[in-house]
A and B are shown apart, each in its own frame.
Chain A
Amino acid sequence: MQVNRLDKGGRIDRSKPLKFRFNGKSYEGYAGDTLASALLANNVSLINRSFKLHRPRGIIGSGAEEPNAILQIGKGAHTLPNRRATQVALQEGLVARSTKGWPGVRFDIGAINDVFSRLFSAGFYYKTFMFPQSLWNLYEDLIRGSAGFAKAPKKPDPDRYEHINAHCDILVAGAGPAGLMAALAAARSGARVILADEGTEAGGALLRSDEIIDGRPATNWVETIATEIRGYEDVTVLKNSTVFGYFAQNFLTITERTEGPIRQREWRVRARQVVLAQGAIERPLIFCNNDRPGVMLASAVSEYIRRYAVLPGKRAVVFTNNDAAYQAALDLHSAGATIAAIVDSRRTGAGDLGEQAKAAGIPVMPGHIVTNVSGRKRVTGVKIATWDGATEGMVDESIDIACDLVTMSGGYSPAVHLHSQSGAKNAWDDSLSCFVPGEAVQACESAGAGNGRWSLRDCLEDGARAGKVALAKAGFDMPDIAVPAASSQAVKPLEPLWRVPAAQDPDRCPKQFLDFQNDTSVADVRLAVREGYRNIEHVKRYTALGFGTDQGKLGNINGMAVLAEALGMSIPEVGTTTFRPPYTPVSFGVCAGESVGELYDPVRKTAVHEWHESSGAEFENVGQWHRPWYFPLPGEDLDAAVARECLATRKSLGILDASTLGKIDVQGPDAVTFLERIYTHNVGKMQNGRCAYGIMLGEDGMVMDDGVMARLGDNRFYLTTTTGGAAAVLGWLESWLQTEWPELEVYLTSITDQYSTIAVAGPNSRRLLHKLSCSVDLGNENFPFMSVHDAELAGIPVQLFRVSFSGELAFEVNVDSNHALPLWQTLMDAGEEFDITPYGTETMHVLRAEKGFVIVGQDTDGSVTPIDLNMNWMLSKEKDYLGKRSLSRPDCLRTDRKQLVGLLSEDNTTVIPEGAQLIEDLSAPEPVPMLGHVSSSYMSACLGHPIALGLVAGGWNRKDEVVYAWAAGCEPIRARIVSPVFYDPRNERQND
């Protein structure tokens, strides 16, 4: 039974009843309801428990400011945590739960915290759980378990999200009276306009208003204007869309909650001009027990009555320090509720609305304040005191009035969030007692209530003004736009009332909540000041004021005022905390957009990928590349397959798809000069047709990348880079050419994808190529180690490199990627007689480690010089190159630097875990000095025992010393320091 639903009125569709469930019980509402209005219609007033003290909480607001009704919506993988019931549109079958309270929201064990609430003062966790420090991890688990709000879904999100990039001339944030006027002006002038509003329909505060515009109800006017705006071709109207971020150069982000197959959409808008018209947020009044269910903002009360036809209480007390709340009293009155009293802290009372209230027979109590509330799970009454305006001291709360609804208004705060995010400051307006947008620093105009214009007439005017200013700045002609007529009432000014005096001392009275979501009270802020906090940002972090998902939209300003009072400063002197995006919480799903699963990152496959797949390869990701990891035969695991692949390569013939190596073509008359400065070796001395192993250093002298480079002609080179470093190296080379040495004529071209590389390695590799009628003589004389020839192989033009990353006699075949797959197949067929064995990255790693060849990025980590790798022979003394000067810095010359060594486990069987730390003395007191770590470690099938490479402080002077390798979860392993070259130290095989 929707007991609180009014018989008529509202913008709901009574022909469309909707069933929903809340905390396991079934209810009914109507299309057009929010979850909050539907709950109120069903007289559900206890919605949740508070964060720290587990106090009963109800709905307090009607929009983005709601701090209490934060619910878990939906079930399973679709569930949405922490949604504001005030902004969840009711749908058939909707399921919602309270996010706090165990076993349930009505009976909550944690409410015991409230009994002992004096213990839970500001900084409680810091003060209580710091000792002994070793137990912090345990405490943290318990605290995190009892805190927090809703549950995150455990399964991947099955819904789709998307991002849209958009440009516009004018972006209008907010479709209330000011936003509509600005958008109308912009639309009529022919500008490209985006009008975004977080509500389900345009109108903003007009949807709860009975005001008249141009002689007709405001909502009619809204419909006419919104229809006209939507009719322009270049206008995009986004409903259910929150402008949540304002970034540099007028870049704004909007989340749109859609109804189609896309659940949410993120708009990323670059706007030439922005009009900010998000309106204002009503402030609470800070009296004792102001958090009880049934205490509600005046604007929310009007909204529930007029927009949703829901009467949230039968007998109300209205408590205010300004005129606006009188409207709520009139709305309550005309909806049939009894107004026990309007308690107005001002002795002057209200203007025109006050007269209307009196005419309606509503009792008004000027010069009074509500000091306390009775009732726990629902308001049952208030205590009232007469007040002379003194903020110090205590008052005598002698009047009791029974009621089930307390309607409060502490005035309005312009929603300056986006303005602040844009980088601009806010200015304190003493006459309005609020922060208003200060001077804009980006191309934006604030308008309407968000600009401190409260009356409807002012809002309409200010909206039109802002629209015209934005249009003029964007270079559009002034449109023909008349500001419609609206009434303007005589208003008595608001009198600030940041903290309501109580019958007790403010530090001892029942809780006066500033931040409902985080249970921060007046006493907490005052305590922080007594403990020495002065800065609002520090007080925020200490008391959690404004730290919740609502970011303190409601009572933050009161908190600042309470802080100012305690410090004896003014509010502008205390200032605001920083407003950061997002304005309201944004789901992770829409942040990720389409970039999930397969679309997270592009996948790169080599030209031979199909063959690898059909041959049962296991793959590993190397950057974006999918590379064959190993090729298991039936029944083989990784170790068995790798052992077989290694032995086959060493004994006869292996074949590797090395296409992912970065490949760069370098041409130009200054190619030698350029490469001399890049590589450490003497590039100029290289003969045409010869290859060299090259390393590049950063200017800090650390090894950055390595690879084979070949001189193809006087002015032409071919470089290879590591698979992962290809793009970075190309960028690095370009940066030097363009910024430092623009006088050099050199052209760099990436040919990584255009050419595929097939490595054939092993004693039979030469025979294999012979078999395929290789067009060049492969003998040592014509084709020595480290040389390159153009050739034809089985009729396919190729570039042949005699290089070896395995230590075996080996060739790398570069071939146009279009021919790579047939060539691979040809090699496989021809190699059958040599038992040709495809191998993957794992075997490649083992073979190179047996030879002591490092992998940059695995055996080095950005703090390793070529000297540390024992590569002095590669460092030219005759020229300068990038990083050379750094190698003679004192730190690089230390003899106790970590140096590349080999490691053998003493038991000859244990494979040391990669990443294990190396220590000298097991009995050394903590902190144990670290000698270094293990960077590569494998079982070598060839040698019949495990091998490892590592970096060890002063390692070369520690030959044959025993150290301990220790990794988490393992016993320490005794390991002997040896040469990093385990196999064929005299390089006889590759030169064979």
Chain B
Amino acid sequence: MFLIECPWCGERAETEFSYGGEGGITRPAEPDKLSDAEWANYLFMRTNPRGAHQELWNHAQGCRRWFGVERDTVTYHISRSYVLGDGVKD
């Protein structure tokens, strides 16, 4: 079970969190203007790296905030967790 640092609540056990998939994927501003292939790329394609992976986690059983985590998919080492967007805690 991972130990994950919520930027707001501190280190907590993985059971308090839910996983939100790969982070850093921005929703296209004008989906209508995208080709089917471009839209499919946004919708389905993920980098699935061997190594450092940017992911979204939600402190579902705590403050319910979403935040970013950098986790190594080979060693499971979590190198950092961070506030999304402007990086300012509100």
Residues of A within 8 A of B (CB): 165, 247-251, 268, 270, 423, 441, 699-700, 731, 734-735, 738-740, 742, 880, 884-886, 889-890
Contact in complex: B66, A249 (CB < 8 Å)? no
Which 8 pairs of residues, A with B, have the shortest CB-CB distance?
A885-B31, A248-B76, A249-B3, A738-B66, A742-B85, A251-B1, A739-B66, A885-B39
- Bound CA–CA A696/B2 (angstroms): 32
Contact in complex: B2, A249 (CB < 8 Å)? yes
Residues from chain A with Cβ under 8 Å of B27 in the complex: 699, 740
Contact in complex: B1, A886 (CB < 8 Å)? no
Contact in complex: B64, A889 (CB < 8 Å)? no
Residues from chain B with Cβ under 8 Å of A880 in the complex: 30-32
Partner of A699, one of B23, B43, B56: B43
Q: Closest CB-CB distance, B89 to chain A, in whole Å? A: 12
Contact in complex: A423, B76 (CB < 8 Å)? yes
Residues from chain A with Cβ under 8 Å of B43 in the complex: 699-700, 886
Contact in complex: A731, B1 (CB < 8 Å)? no
Residues from chain A with Cβ under 8 Å of B32 in the complex: 880, 885
Contact in complex: A889, B36 (CB < 8 Å)? yes
* B52 beta carbon closer than 8 Å to chain A: no
Residues from chain B with Cβ under 8 Å of A885 in the complex: 31-32, 34, 39
Q: Would you list 22 pairs from A and B whose C-beta atoms are within 8 A, ordered by A residue? A: A165-B13, A247-B1, A248-B76, A249-B3, A249-B76, A249-B78, A251-B3, A270-B13, A423-B75, A699-B43, A731-B18, A734-B58, A734-B64, A738-B65, A738-B84, A739-B23, A739-B56, A740-B26, A880-B31, A885-B39, A886-B39, A886-B43
Contact in complex: B1, A734 (CB < 8 Å)? no
Q: Closest CB-CB distance, A474 to chain B, in whole Å? A: 15
Contact in complex: B2, A735 (CB < 8 Å)? no
Q: Closest CB-CB distance, B18 to chain A, in whole Å? A: 7
* B51 beta carbon closer than 8 Å to chain A: no
* B62 beta carbon closer than 8 Å to chain A: no
Residues from chain B with Cβ under 8 Å of A884 in the complex: 31
Q: Output the nearest chain B residue to A891 by Cβ-Cβ distance.
A: B36
Residues from chain B with Cβ under 8 Å of A250 in the complex: 3
Q: Output the nearest chain A residue to B74 by Cβ-Cβ distance.
A: A423
Q: Output the nearest chain B residue to A885 by Cβ-Cβ distance.
A: B31
Q: Closest CB-CB distance, B46 to chain A, in whole Å? A: 13
- Bound CA–CA A889/B38 (angstroms): 11
Q: Output the nearest chain B residue to A881 by Cβ-Cβ distance.
A: B31
- Bound CA–CA A849/B23 (angstroms): 41
For window 1-48 of B, CB contacts with A under 8 Å fall at 1-3, 13, 18, 20, 23, 26-27, 30-32, 34, 36, 39-40, 43
For window 60-77 of B, CB contacts with A under 8 Å fall at 60, 64-66, 75-77
Given contacts A250-B3, A742-B85, 9 further A-B contacts (CB under 8 A): A441-B75, A700-B43, A731-B58, A735-B66, A740-B26, A740-B27, A884-B31, A885-B32, A885-B39
Q: Output the nearest chain A residue to B71 by Cβ-Cβ distance.
A: A248
- Bound CA–CA A468/B40 (angstroms): 55
- Bound CA–CA A734/B62 (angstroms): 14
Contact in complex: B75, A742 (CB < 8 Å)? no
Residues from chain A with Cβ under 8 Å of B30 in the complex: 880
Q: Output the nearest chain A residue to B3 by Cβ-Cβ distance.
A: A249
- Bound CA–CA A251/B11 (angstroms): 13
Given A248-B1, A249-B78, A268-B1: A735 touches B20 (CB 8 Å cut-off): yes
Contact in complex: A270, B40 (CB < 8 Å)? no
- Bound CA–CA A441/B30 (angstroms): 45
Q: Contact residue range for chain B?
A: 20 to 34
Residues of B within 8 A of A (CB): 1-3, 13, 18, 20, 23, 26-27, 30-32, 34, 36, 39-40, 43, 56, 58, 60, 64-66, 75-78, 84-86
Residues from chain B with Cβ under 8 Å of A248 in the complex: 1-3, 76-77
Q: Closest CB-CB distance, B72 to chain A, in whole Å? A: 10
Contact in complex: B58, A735 (CB < 8 Å)? yes
Contact in complex: B36, A731 (CB < 8 Å)? no
Q: Closest CB-CB distance, B63 to chain A, in whole Å? A: 11
Contact in complex: A731, B85 (CB < 8 Å)? no
Q: Closest CB-CB distance, B26 to chain A, in whole Å? A: 8
Contact in complex: A734, B66 (CB < 8 Å)? yes
Residues from chain A with Cβ under 8 Å of B85 in the complex: 742
Residues from chain B with Cβ under 8 Å of A889 in the complex: 36, 39-40
Q: Output the nearest chain A residue to B21 by Cβ-Cβ distance.
A: A735
- Bound CA–CA A423/B76 (angstroms): 9
- Bound CA–CA A885/B31 (angstroms): 6
- Bound CA–CA A739/B30 (angstroms): 18
Q: Closest CB-CB distance, A892 to chain B, in whole Å? A: 10
Q: Closest CB-CB distance, A738 to chain B, in whole Å? A: 4
- Bound CA–CA A735/B84 (angstroms): 11
Residues from chain A with Cβ under 8 Å of B2 in the complex: 248-249, 251
- Between B56, B58, B66, the greatest number of chain A beta carbons within 10 A of the residue's beta carbon is seen for B66
Partner of B84, one of A249, A423, A739: A739
Residues from chain B with Cβ under 8 Å of A251 in the complex: 1-3
Residues from chain A with Cβ under 8 Å of B31 in the complex: 880, 884-885
Q: Closest CB-CB distance, B8 to chain A, in whole Å? A: 12
- Bound CA–CA A890/B36 (angstroms): 8
Residues from chain B with Cβ under 8 Å of A699 in the complex: 27, 43
- Between A248, A250, A251, the greatest number of chain B beta carbons within 10 A of the residue's beta carbon is seen for A248
- Bound CA–CA A700/B13 (angstroms): 32
- Bound CA–CA A886/B40 (angstroms): 8
Q: Closest CB-CB distance, A955 to chain B, in whole Å? A: 25
Contact in complex: A270, B3 (CB < 8 Å)? yes
Q: Closest CB-CB distance, B73 to chain A, in whole Å? A: 11
Q: Output the nearest chain A residue to B42 by Cβ-Cβ distance.
A: A699
- Bound CA–CA A739/B20 (angstroms): 10
- Bound CA–CA A249/B34 (angstroms): 42
- Bound CA–CA A64/B85 (angstroms): 52
- Bound CA–CA A731/B66 (angstroms): 10
- Bound CA–CA A721/B21 (angstroms): 24
- Bound CA–CA A97/B65 (angstroms): 55
- Bound CA–CA A348/B12 (angstroms): 58
Q: Closest CB-CB distance, B50 to chain A, in whole Å? A: 14
- Bound CA–CA A423/B13 (angstroms): 19
Q: Closest CB-CB distance, A168 to chain B, in whole Å? A: 14
- Bound CA–CA A447/B72 (angstroms): 28
- Bound CA–CA A423/B60 (angstroms): 28
- Bound CA–CA A884/B28 (angstroms): 12
Q: Output the nearest chain A residue to B23 by Cβ-Cβ distance.
A: A739
- Bound CA–CA A251/B12 (angstroms): 12
Q: Closest CB-CB distance, B65 to chain A, in whole Å? A: 7
- Between A249, A739, A889, the greatest number of chain B beta carbons within 10 A of the residue's beta carbon is seen for A739
Q: Output the nearest chain A residue to B28 by Cβ-Cβ distance.
A: A885
Q: Closest CB-CB distance, A895 to chain B, in whole Å? A: 18
- Bound CA–CA A700/B64 (angstroms): 25
Contact in complex: B84, A742 (CB < 8 Å)? yes
- Bound CA–CA A655/B13 (angstroms): 44
Residues from chain A with Cβ under 8 Å of B75 in the complex: 423, 441
- Bound CA–CA A880/B40 (angstroms): 17
Residues from chain A with Cβ under 8 Å of B3 in the complex: 248-251, 270
Residues from chain A with Cβ under 8 Å of B66 in the complex: 734-735, 738-739
Q: Output the nearest chain A residue to B67 by Cβ-Cβ distance.
A: A738
Residues from chain B with Cβ under 8 Å of A735 in the complex: 20, 56, 58, 66
